[in-house]
Amino acid sequence: MQKTYMQTKEGAERNWYVIDAKDIPLGRVASKVANVLRGKHKPTYTPHIDGGDFVIILNADKVKLTGNKLEDKIYYNHSGYTGGLRERTAKVMKEKYPTEMVERAVKGMIPKTRLGRKQYTKLFVYAGEEHPHFAQQPIELKMD
C-alpha cells in the first residue's frame, strides 16, 4: 500500500521567478502568477501548506487590456466615510497606478484566507524593467 505524500512548510522549496508582462493580457498574467504563488504548478502541491514560489512581475505599465476595458472597467475604493467612494477607470489606473492594477488582479485570484494572505506577500510588481532582486537569481517564467 502506497502512502500519499504530504508536504510540510519546512520542506517546501521556494524558487524565484520573473515574468515580463509586456503585451500580455492582464488576466493571463494574473492567473499564471496566482498558480505559482499557491504552488499549484508543483507535483508536491498541498492545499493547506504555503508551498508556493516568489514571483516578480516586470513592465506592469505595459500589460494589455482587451476589448473596451480601458474605458469600461472601473476600480472602486471606499474610505469608510459617507461619500467616500472613489471610482477610477482602468485607463487612469494603468497610467497612474500600474502596479496596483496588476496586484489587484492577482489578489482576486488567491483565496481570501490567512494562507492566501501569506501567499500574496511573495508577489513583487514593478512598473519598469528593473527590479532589486538580482541576488535571488530569479528564473524567467515563460507565458504560454
pLDDT in tens, 102-112: 999 999 999 99
CATH label of the domain that carries residue 62: 3.90.1180.10
Tell me which of 1 and 141 has the higher pLDDT.
141
Does residue 4 form part of some domain? no
Residues 91-114: what's their mean pLDDT? 95
State pTM to two decimals.
0.91
Does residue 7 form part of some domain? no
Please state, for a pLDDT cut of 70, what percent of the chain lies above it. 100
pLDDT in tens, 16-28: 999 999 999 999 9
Structural domain boundaries enclosing 28 = 16-140
Residues 119-141: what's their mean pLDDT? 95
Q: What cell was used for 122? A: 511573495
Summary mean pLDDT of the chain: 94
C-alpha to C-alpha distance for 67 and 107, rounded to whole angstroms:
22
Does residue 11 form part of some domain? no
Does residue 64 form part of some domain? yes
Q: How many domains does the chain have?
A: 1
Does residue 5 form part of some domain? no
How many other β-carbons are positioned within 10 Å of the β-carbon of residue 81? 7
Does residue 60 form part of some domain? yes
Residues 57-67: what's their mean pLDDT? 95
Does residue 84 form part of some domain? yes
Burial (0-12, 13-18, 19+ Cβ within 10 Å), 3: exposed
Does residue 9 form part of some domain? no
